[in-house]
Each structure stands twice: as C-alpha cells, then as structure tokens.
Amino acid sequence: MSEAVEVTRVLDRAHRECWSTVLASVVRLTRDLDLAEDCTQDAFVQALRTWPDGIPGNPGGWLTTVARRLALDRLRRETNLRRKLPLLVEELGDTGDTQQPTDPLRLVFTCCHPALARDSQVALTLRLICGLTTREVAAVLLIGEATAAARITRAKKKIAAAGIPYRIPADRELPARLDVVLTVVHLVYTAGHVAAGPELTRTDLTGRAVELARLLVRLMPDEPEPQALLGLLLMTEARGDARVSADGELVLLADQDRSRWDPQLMAEGVSRATSALQRGHGRFALQAAVAGLHMTAPSWEQTDWQQLVRMYDAMLVSWPTPIVALNRAAAHSLVPGADLTAVLTELDALADEPALAAYAYLPATRADVLIRMGRTTEAAEAYRQAVRLTANETERRFLTKRLNALQARGAQSWSASPASRRPR
C-alpha cells in the first residue's frame, strides 16, 4: 500500500471516529460553532498535507491539538479578542486536557437548546456531532438538501446571537431537552444502521450513538427513557453480524440466523428495556419493547405480531408519526388472518404523507403485501419505486433481486416465503 493511500485510509477513519470529539474540543475553547467547524476542517486538510511525512501515533489527539491551535491563531487575529479572552482563560484554567469525555454530549445539549426550533436542533446536531454532510443530514431527516442547509444555518446564527452556552445543563433544565437529545441520538444510530453509500452499516455512527446513550444514562440514571434508548440500540446492535451474509448480501430479520446474535448485547439490551418499561411507557420504552419482542421470539414465525400491533398502537398515542404508522401497518399485515386489503388501504393513505415521499420502506412494504395478495404487476412497480428511493447499495441490490425474482417466477414462488418488511 502506497503512503498516499495509507494516509487517506487513516485520515478517513479518523474523520469517522474522531470528528465529533475534535470539533467539540474546539467548540469548548472558542464558543463559536462556525469557527470551530472551520478549524476542524482545516486540521484535516493539514493532516492530508503533512501525514505523508509520518502518520502520528494518535491521529485524534494530533487533529485536536492542531485544530485548537488554528482556532487560537484565528482568535488572536480577531478584533474582538479582548472580549473573548476571559472565556479562553476560564476554559483553559479548568483543564489542561484538549478533550474531555463529556465534550460530545455538551455539544449535543448546545445544539438542542430550547431556544432553537426542534427541526433545527436535530439537523444541526447531526451535522456537528456526526460530521454528516448536508446531503446526508437531508437523507436522514427525509427532507430536501436546501431545507437541511437552511435549518443548519439558522441554528448556528441563533446560537451565536443568543449567546447559548456550551455546557451540559443544570439538573432542572435537563427534562426540557431530554426528548430531543434522545431523538437526535436515535437518529445518529439510524444514520449508521442503514447508511447512504456502498456499505450497509457505518459502525462509527452506530458506535457513537451507543456511546452517547451510555453517557446519557450515567448523567440521568433515574430517567427511564435514556435506559430504554440504550436498550433499544444494544438489541439492534446484537443482530449486527446476522444482517449481512458471507457474500455481503442483506439478510432480513425473517431469515437471520439467530445463533449469530450477540448474547451479551441481547442480555444487556433486554435488561435495560425491561427496567425502563417498569418505570414508564415513553416512546423509546415502547420502541425497546418492540425490539425485545423480536429478540425474545424463538423464531420469526413465532413472533407475537398481535402484541407488536398493540405496542405500535400505544406508540401512536404519544408519537403519532407516519413512520410509526407504517411500522404498525407492516406488523398488522403479519398477524395471522389479517385483512390484507385493509392493510393496503392503510399503506395507500400513508403515500400522501410528505415525510414518506422519499422513504423506500413504504413502497417495499406495499410490494410485500401486494405479492401476498397475488397482485404481482403492482408489486413489481412498488419494488421499482423502492429501488429508486434507497440510498444504500446493499439494500438496492437486495430489492433489485427481489424484483427480478418476482418478474422471473411470479407470485407462486413467494407464497411459502416468510413475509418480511423493512430490513433490520
């Protein structure tokens, strides 16, 4: 492997694993999101130029040191240095470390300040804590790229204008921000669980989400919803190895080898979810309950679909979103003796939801239901739509294979197959 290729590989890994900690450390120093982001990006550019002479033993530490030095140089050149200097002295006097374990969580809480609009909170956090591009943020939130860019810009301006502090809030302030913080951490995990691009999963994003969830549990040990979110993520992580076959193809939950599920992650996830459900029935506790029902079922065929529908019904009361309604309809379709015509009516009604206009799982679910109804021509068109909408190459290959098989063999060959909905 050439030096240039090795540098690119290491730097790409550092970007995936260290972006948020480098950025958060610089924000702690500067209290200026735009300046911190610029200096963090410049540090990566400088690494690309200098690392061919020797890759540092600690890439993340090198990037943090350089980014902070660049930020200090920029601040010294600013005419408002005198105003900013007390903040710098206070911060550097607190700790000589360039990074603190809570830095990423501080940054999340800053982005989730109640002065910001909810949609801007989520977009900004995904941009800063994950280093996602604006296009990737838009894909996660199911919005246009221009809309995502506008939300991020508005949020940064609001933080600067309002002087929103960079810190973990006091105990009395935490409840007001908890729900959006949990939502953002969950979206970070979602962005990595089915990533845009060639790989099914971005483990840097899923790992970061699990890390943030653990920090939240330590910060708020008596709150059930952080426990529930962590349990949900751990149960999903437990299935990770079984989601992809030996040849790199997607394996649906219906067909996964359950012996490949990680028993330690399963046990911790179920334990945390159970603890959360004993103390409350918030939306993350209910999502964790859904994951737990899948995890503890002996097989796909023995899954308690009726109970899953009840979980989604409860979720729709506190969290009436189109995606929850879609998942509820998918579970309903798998209840023994379900009226598939009624399910299809539910799915067709969801097609009018703007939030699902670019959501590949809606047409994919419709295709599955249509196949079981014997309406293969319509199912094929639904699969074509799902193929067009998915941003993940592994999923696209899977959906294309299903489409080709449907066209080649007709509906009869599908009748004995396990009904399956969105990939997991």
Task: Output the domain CATH number for residue 39.
Answer: 1.10.1740
- Spatial distance between the Cα atoms of 31 and 205, rounded to a whole number of angstroms: 25
CA separation, residue 346 to residues 164, 289, 304, 340, 387 (Å): 43, 23, 21, 10, 22
Domain presence at residue 234 = no
Q: What's the pLDDT score for residue 229?
A: 98
Beta bridge partners of 197: 392
For 212-271, the three-class secondary structure string (H helix, E strand, C coil) is HHHHHHHHCCCCHHHHHHHHHHHHHHHCHHHHECCCCCECCHHHCCHHHCCHHHHHHHHH
pLDDT tens for 349-401 read: 999 999 899 899 999 999 999 999 999 999 999 999 999 999 889 999 999 99
pLDDT tens for 319-333 read: 899 999 999 999 999
Q: What is the DSSP letter of 255?
A: G
DSSP alpha helix (H) spans, 31-102: 33-50, 59-77, 81-94
Domain presence at residue 348 = yes
Domain presence at residue 335 = yes
Q: What's the pLDDT score for residue 100?
A: 59
R_g (Cα) of the chain, nearest Å = 23
More confident site: 339 or 95: 339
Domain presence at residue 282 = no
Q: Is the dihedral of CA 231, 233, 235, 237 positive or negative?
A: negative
Nearest to 108 by CA among 35, 194, 16, 211: 211
- For residue 403, the domain's CATH number is 1.25.40
Beta bridge partners of 250: 244
Mark which of 78, 99, 120 sits at the end of a domain: 99
- Residue 46 has φ and ψ, to the nearest 5°, of -65, -35
- Spatial distance between the Cα atoms of 369 and 228, rounded to a whole number of angstroms: 31
Domain presence at residue 126 = no
Domain presence at residue 15 = yes
Q: What's the pLDDT score for residue 314?
A: 94
- Domains contained in the chain, number: 2
pLDDT band of 98, cuts 50, 70, 90 = low
Query: What's the domain range around 408?
Result: 319-424
Residue 409: other Cβ atoms inside 10 A: 11
- Spatial distance between the Cα atoms of 309 and 346, rounded to a whole number of angstroms: 14
Domain presence at residue 189 = no
User: What is the average pLDDT value for the chain, to the nearest integer?
Assistant: 86
Q: How far apart are the first and last CA of the chain?
A: 35
Mark which of 50, 84, 99 sits at the end of a domain: 99
Displacement of CA 18 from its chain's centroid (Å): 17
Structure tokens at 269: 């996830």
pLDDT band of 96, cuts 50, 70, 90 = very low
Is the Cβ–Cβ distance between 389 and 360 less than 8 Å? yes
Mark which of 99, 127, 162 sits at the end of a domain: 99
Domain presence at residue 48 = yes
Structure tokens at 393: 């190459």
Taking 90 as the threshold, does the pLDDT of residue 101 lie above it?
no
